[in-house]
Amino acid sequence: MENIQRLMSKLNKDQIEPVLDTEGAVLVIAGAGSGKTSVLTTRIAHLIVDKCVSPENILAITFTNKAANEMKERLMKIVGNVAGMWVCTIHSMCVKILRSAISLIGYDKNFTIYDETDKEKALKRVFEDLAIKDDKLLKTAKNIISNAKNDCLSPEEWKKENLEFNLCEQIFAVYSAYENYLKSNNALDFDDLLCKTYELFVRCPEIADYYADKFKYIHIDEFQDTNKVQYLIAQRLSLKHGNIFVVGDEDQSIYSWRGAKVENILNFDDVYRGAKIYKLERNYRSTKKILELANVIIDNNKMRRGKKLWTDNDEGVRVETFVGNDENNEAQYVAIQIKNLMQRSDMKYSDFAVFMRINALSRAFEQEFTKYGIPYKIYGGFRFFERKEVKDLLSYVKVVINPKDDESFIRAVSTPKRGIGDKTIAELREFAVGRKCGMYECLDDIDEAGFSSAVVRKLTIFKLMLDEFKETAQRENSVFLLKKIIETTSFNDMFAEKTEENRSRLMNINELLNVAELFHKDNEGANVSDFVNSVTLSSDTDEITDGDFVTVATIHAVKGLEFPCVFVSGLDESILPVASREADEIEEERRLMYVAVTRAKQRLYLTRAISRYLYGQRSFMTPSRFLKEGQSVLGGKTPTFGDNNGVRGEKKSYSVDIDDNSTTSSHGYSSNYAKSMLNRSMPKVNENRANSGEYAIGIKVAHKKFGIGTVVGIKGSGDNLIADVAFKGIGIKSLSVKYAPMEIVK
């Protein structure tokens, strides 16, 4: 175990003060990279070691499962055994509470948790039952219901507050039917995990009192991202002892679309009278130049307490900006920068990250990184556990845990195909509704459903199979159960044809088995239900794993992470910031920009494009206002192609001075292009590669990814030489001769 005094000695004065302030309400405004995790873990260690508080009386709520696991590991190194202490996300905490007491409000403890895909399917089922055919209304209803639950409003309460809304009656009908459907399936959606916990506290105050007494010291990280119901739960839990310690940064509040309210942190001391407030402004992550840009941008926001990040780190290299001719040129610039930096330093692919406001921008980076042989992973889009084959396989597990879960039953009975069609499934569901039970449960009386003998036989065989899986789930762990399901159903035979897509699906199935194995290894004594909980409660950030690849992600997906070199792409109006006229929405977009900038440790690049192909058409783009706000740091006007915001003008090409962290661009501008006139030499990349002068129209080349191709066009010269290469079955690719993984075929 690490000595607590030695641990304290690693903190600065501003960090030590909140660590020692253990009684009452405490708010720590923790700037990006200011060591808030060290403050949280040291404070908890101080409570256990110096104040002799039992770990069972401590609650620590984190924003992600990954953060929770890291905190547990740190605490175990410091104080040893922390058994009994709750270190988890608020959703995981609520699941624990509900599993033990949800029967008091009319649910079974083996409830299924519906993710966003399941939720949408359930809503579609409700729309069918109500004979509503309006896809736009479905999306509207989904958002309204989520917001209502985050504000703790039942269908009746929501209706009462929205009588003047023209869709009030329809939304009320959908919301009511959706709640009934979830109840009949013994299922909760993500929002329910919170609002049902609060409902439990209100309807059964003895349960709330039990946990309020148990948790004598409450810690909440990322407090700026709490919504109303989370705030109310925290408030109720702290009612008895009053020791609530919250850490956050209003400048990093970026989840209003999930119901997060920045006012929770801004008004904390108004609600908790006498609360002590501390600020952590020293940054341990970034260079001075990066922080200078972050400070000057966020200073334009009004809804903030005010702080200024500072650091003893090096001055660092300047922040670079680049304007590409289009999205492919922008992505090509990033690819070449990565290649260049790796050639002249000891950086790895994992040191680089590309951030974007919307996932739609990732296509160009996928294309260019493939061309240049750069390994990458994309986050913030389609999550692993939302992939069809993964959900199909898990549906068997979910339905044997919760026999009332019709959505999982329908998915399981349909995959693999077993001659049970949509008509049969619809009739079976109707039969189950009439019997007021789940579709799996009603198979006991299938002879009374009026089906043909052939259908009865198929459904009976399916039921016997589920019964066998149910028995297995009670005896074995998830790995054994999943393997049994795969073998019994011949699940993998669906992907027998040797295609790239099937190969990927089989890899995903294998990865699910690996995930299950790792879960049970790390959670001794956990059962199948615990594994399903962990899967359902996983987040985007949890999927960001170690490995030597470039991270390509939405800004929302990488909050809390850091990288030596960051590229913030798509800095155009209507992208970052997204189109908006509301001041509070612009402030959140600015906070997104601030979060992106403060992920960078040593190098930061800001990129945009003159035109983009988005949403089915090509459009000219206008530079983001955030570039203008950062002009005093970035150094004058961001270069564009001519006047009028770069809408028209002559394309030019410049070599860029490598001593100031830039590289060559074939069709764009970099912010330090003027220095390139010094014509400093570029480092040699590959002594064995053919001289660029040997490239000519008609020659054959071999590319690591695309195979053999023919050069059909040449532009530029020297380090700027770009070859247009035609690859059979792929098309023409524009490749930098210097950096693309290709060789001339002799």
pLDDT, one tens digit per residue, over 361-409 is 988 999 899 889 999 988 865 567 888 999 999 999 999 999 999 999 9
State yes or no: is 339 an active-site residue.
no
The pLDDT score that the predictor gives to residue 514 is 86
Three-state DSSP at 46 gives helix
The pLDDT score that the predictor gives to residue 688 is 36
> What distance in Å separates the CA atoms of residue 659 and residue 173, rounded to the nearest whole number?
65
The catalytic residue among 37, 343, 367, 424 is 37
Determine the Cα angle at 315 with ends 310 and 321, to 5°.
100
Q: What's the pLDDT band for 47 if we cut at 50, 70, 90?
A: very high
Q: What's the pLDDT band for 680 if we cut at 50, 70, 90?
A: very low
The catalytic residue among 15, 36, 224, 389 is 36
> What distance in Å separates the CA atoms of residue 556 and residue 655, rounded to the nearest whole number?
34
CA dihedral 413, 414, 420, 426 (to 10 degrees): 90
DSSP string for 584-617:
HHHHHHHHHHHHHHTTEEEEEEEEEEEEEEETTE
Do residues 717 and 694 lie in contact, with contact meaning Cβ atoms separated by under 8 Å? Answer: no
State yes or no: is 441 an active-site residue.
no
Q: What percent of the chain has pLDDT over 90?
A: 65
378, 746, 689, 684: which is closest to 544 by C-alpha? 378
The 10s digit of each residue's pLDDT in 190-201 is 999 999 999 999
CA 500 to each of CA 314, 437, 503, 505: distance values in angstroms, whole numbers, following the listed order: 47, 41, 5, 9
Within a 10 A sphere around the Cβ of 65, how many other Cβ atoms? 18
pTM above 0.85, yes or no: no
Instruction: Say if strands 276-280 and 26-30 run parallel, antiparallel, or are unpaired.
Output: parallel
Residue 260 has pLDDT above 60, yes or no: yes
Mean pLDDT, residues 270-282: 95
State yes or no: is 689 an active-site residue.
no
> What distance in Å separates the CA atoms of residue 259 and residue 663, rounded to the nearest whole number?
42
The 10s digit of each residue's pLDDT in 624-668 is 999 999 999 997 554 433 333 332 233 333 223 323 333 333 345
Within a 10 A sphere around the Cβ of 89, how many other Cβ atoms? 22
> What distance in Å separates the CA atoms of residue 212 and residue 189, rounded to the nearest whole number?
25
The catalytic residue among 197, 252, 415, 602 is 252
CA 711 to each of CA 294, 653, 698: distance values in angstroms, whole numbers, following the listed order: 44, 21, 5
Mean pLDDT, residues 151-177: 94
Instruction: Say if strands 617-620 and 600-614 run parallel, antiparallel, or are unpaired.
Output: antiparallel
The pLDDT score that the predictor gives to residue 662 is 35
**102-111, 259-268, 604-613, 677-686: which range is least confident on average?**
677-686
**115-129, 227-241, 711-725: which range is least confident on average?**
711-725
The pLDDT score that the predictor gives to residue 485 is 96
The pLDDT score that the predictor gives to residue 39 is 95
The contacts of residue 177 (CB under 8 Å, 6+ apart) are: 126, 129, 130
> What distance in Å separates the CA atoms of residue 483 and residue 447, rounded to the nearest whole number?
31
**19-33, 258-272, 445-459, 523-537: which range is least confident on average?**
523-537
State yes or no: is 221 an active-site residue.
yes
517, 566, 511: which is closest to 286 by C-alpha? 566
State yes or no: is 304 an active-site residue.
no
Question: Would you state the structure tokens that stand for residue 385, as one six-digit string?
Answer: 């556990």
The pLDDT score that the predictor gives to residue 81 is 81
Within a 10 A sphere around the Cβ of 584, how many other Cβ atoms? 12
The catalytic residue among 189, 222, 406, 719 is 222
Helix H, strand E, coil C: the string for 284-301 is: CCCCHHHHHHHHHHHCCC
Question: Would you state the structure tokens that stand for residue 622, as one six-digit string?
Answer: 């206008």
The catalytic residue among 118, 189, 221, 249 is 221
Residue 343 has pLDDT above 50, yes or no: yes
Residue 682 has pLDDT above 50, yes or no: no
Question: Would you state the structure tokens that stand for residue 111, as one six-digit string?
Answer: 């409830």
Q: What's the pLDDT band for 696 if we cut at 50, 70, 90?
A: confident
The 10s digit of each residue's pLDDT in 700-745 is 888 888 889 888 888 877 777 888 888 887 778 888 888 888 888 8
542 phi/psi in degrees, rounded to 5 = -60, -25
Q: What percent of the chain has pLDDT over 70?
A: 90
Mean pLDDT, all residues of the chain:
87
State yes or no: is 115 an active-site residue.
no
Helices 500-522 and 388-401 sit at what angle, rounded to 10 degrees?
A: 40
Q: What's the pLDDT band for 66 if we cut at 50, 70, 90?
A: confident
DSSP string for 52-105:
---GGGEEEEESSHHHHHHHHHHHHHHHS--TT-EEEEHHHHHHHHHHHHGGGG
Determine the Cα angle at 262 with ends 260 and 267, to 5°.
130
The catalytic residue among 125, 159, 599, 601 is 599
Residue 133 has pLDDT above 80, yes or no: yes
**99-108, 138-147, 615-624: which range is least confident on average?**
615-624
The 10s digit of each residue's pLDDT in 504-527 is 889 889 889 988 898 888 788 889
Instruction: Say if strands 376-379 and 550-554 run parallel, antiparallel, or are unpaired.
Output: parallel
Question: Would you state the structure tokens that stand for residue 558, as one six-digit string?
Answer: 């990488």
User: Whose structure tokens read 């490749």?
Assistant: 735
User: Across-strand partners of 300?
Assistant: none
Alpha helices in 663-746 (DSSP H): none
**53-62, 240-249, 317-326, 634-643: which range is least confident on average?**
634-643
The pLDDT score that the predictor gives to residue 500 is 78
> What distance in Å separates the CA atoms of residue 285 and residue 309, rounded to the nearest whole number?
11
Residue 351 has pLDDT above 90, yes or no: yes
